[in-house]
Amino acid sequence: MTKLLTLFAAGVLLLTTAPRRAAAIPVFAHRYGYSCQQCHTTIPHLNGFGQRFLRNGFRLPGPAPEDTHALKIALASNLAYTSEPDPTGLSKAIVDEVELLTGGSYGHFSYFGDSYIVDGGRPGSFRDAWASYWTTPSQAGNVLRLKVGNMGLPLPVDPEVFRETENHYAIFDQTVGSNPFRFFDPHFGSELAFGNPNQGLDAHVLVLKSHDPQSGLPDSGFDKMASLQWNMPALTLSTYGYSGSRPLGGARDAFSRYGLGLSTRTGRYGSDVVVQQGIDNNADGLGTFVRSSGGFVQFRWEFSRALAGIVRYDGIEDSAGNFSRSATFAVNRRLGRNARLTVEDVVTHAPATKNTLNAGLLFAY
């Protein structure tokens, strides 16, 4: 009851706080002098202009405003609270993330860097550090792109940078048996893409180093991934496949993951659906064959440009008997210059039922 009353009080505060003008995520505000409303509603949610800017390799449609030549580096931080006790001893209220970001484009090249000084309340590391080459840096038609570096994977929904809830997507955090691979982590490698990033078909092929951050497993060759997106004005269809292997106690686990995604955006309403299947032929290093599956359905409603509500249902399971189900109810409120407050309630059944209250204050300069 205390958690529900706290959530209700926070929601009332969000609904009654007067909106104020806010500035953009600072990397591109520094460069072009824009306000946040140019690309975002409640940070990090992108409007149509912001989606095109991102998909075009940080290039503006039409003639670009004068570059202010300001330092193109931003600092972002997230202060977090959770009612769920941490098994490693972290307090319930922590400095969850502190990160440095940079990005931009020059002619045929685009680049992006995202380094976590603090990640999850502990010392962090690089998440993204990549550069890409565009054969035709224009806003129309098909274009060939080559990206090299440490990068997030081309999934239907971004698992970290553009996630609007404190609660992670379970399917992107899922590991199977002793195999540490998960879609949440970035990977080092190269990506070749061809198509129209904004309209029509866009195909991606990746070759990635077989390495999982902080897993302790030795590097063991290369993984492969392919994805295909069909972008329409209010609808995006996606499919992806990933395959690789990991050495588990001397034996290797050859694994694969396949998924489908559907995203819609119409006026104030948005939704995302992702489903995934997986196979591991040696998930524990002892010859155990495991099938896995999962996904989520997420709905978003924009009450105003400064206030949004998100409802999501996640589910994962595998043939070894592991499963989890959760429902997330979140409210995001833009509080002021480069700031967003998230308050959410998560009901989890895995297999015991528990209720967790999360809150996060994101701000950037």
Tell me if 308 is assigned to some domain. Answer: yes
Helices (H), 255-306: none
Distance CA 146, CA 128 (A): 16
Tell me if 340 is assigned to some domain. Answer: yes
Tell me if 27 is assigned to some domain. Answer: yes
Q: Are 234 and 265 in contact (CB under 8 A)?
A: yes
Distance CA 74, CA 360 (A): 19
Distance CA 352, CA 248 (A): 30
Long-range contacts of the stretch 295-301 (C-beta < 8 A, 24+)? 295/171, 295/259, 296/169, 296/170, 296/171, 296/272, 297/271, 297/272, 297/273, 298/157, 298/271, 298/272, 298/273, 299/269, 299/270, 299/271, 300/45, 300/164, 300/269, 300/270, 300/271, 301/268, 301/269, 301/270
CA atoms within 13 A on the CB side of 292: 31
Strand partners of residue 223? 208
Supply 226's token pair. 């392919």
Tell me if 54 is assigned to some domain. Answer: yes
Chain position carrying tokens 């940070």:
43
For 35, the domain range is 2-65+140-364
Q: Tens-of-pLDDT digits for all 365 residues of the chain?
A: 444 444 434 443 433 333 333 334 566 766 676 766 677 777 777 877 777 788 888 877 666 555 555 557 788 899 999 999 888 888 999 999 999 988 888 889 999 998 999 998 899 888 899 999 999 876 678 999 999 999 999 999 999 988 999 999 999 999 999 999 999 999 999 999 999 988 899 999 999 999 898 888 888 889 999 999 999 989 999 999 999 999 997 789 999 999 999 999 998 999 999 999 999 999 999 999 999 999 999 999 999 988 999 999 999 999 999 999 999 999 999 887 678 899 999 999 988 899 999 999 988 87
Tell me if 344 is assigned to some domain. Answer: yes
Cβ neighbours, 10 Å, residue 31 = 23
Cβ neighbours, 10 Å, residue 365 = 12
Q: Which CATH number do you get for residue 336?
A: 2.40.160.10
Distance CA 343, CA 358 (A): 6
Supply 63's token pair. 């003639």
Residues 6+ apart with CB under 8 A from 222: 189, 207, 208, 209, 210, 244
Tell me if 96 is assigned to some domain. Answer: no
Number of domains in the chain: 1
Distance CA 306, CA 333 (A): 6
Tell me if 209 is assigned to some domain. Answer: yes
Tell me if 122 is assigned to some domain. Answer: no
What is 179-203 written as a DSSP string?
A: B---TTS-EEEEEEEEE-SSSEEEE
